[in-house]
Amino acid sequence: KQEVTQIPAALSVPEGENLVLNCSFTDSAIYNLQWFRQDPGKGLTSLLLIQSSQREQTSGRLNASLDKSSGRSTLYIAASQPGDSATYLCAVRLYSSASKIIFGSGTRLSIRP
């Protein structure tokens, strides 16, 4: 059974710092991995999608990497801003099921001005 874990569960850093969020999964047979952002009481916003054949994706100050063999992905946020405060979720799409994706438990990020 695929399990997705995110560490740390919560993180608070001062504005301007670079930071890394971690996501690990137990079964490397994934089709892709997606990073989402969720603001309190809101839906999910897709940040980056990495296919299983890719190693990384970049969008602005965000960079996501994928090491499928070790079951790990990282989301790197450069020059953090208070507006980056949110919960970040990673999710893996399984090969074993046509459409299911499994979510991690999320990292609650707080950027202090």
Partner 1 sequence: GAVVSQHPSWVICKSGTSVKIECRSLDFQATTMFWYRQFPKQSLMLMATSNEGSKATYEQGVEKDKFLINHASLTLSTLTVTSAHPEDSSFYICSADVGGGRDYGYTFGSGTRLTVV
Contact at 8 Å (CB) between 108 and 39?
no
Does 45 bind partner 1 (CB under 8 A)? Our answer is yes
Residues 6+ apart with CB under 8 A from 57: 48, 49, 50, 63, 64
Tell me: does residue 107 bind partner 1 (CB under 8 A).
no
Of 11-19, 30-38, 58-66, 70-78, the window that binds partner 1 (rule: CB under 8 A) is 30-38
Binding site for partner 1 (CB under 8 A): 31-32, 34, 36, 41-46, 49, 51, 89, 91, 93, 99-101, 103-106, 108
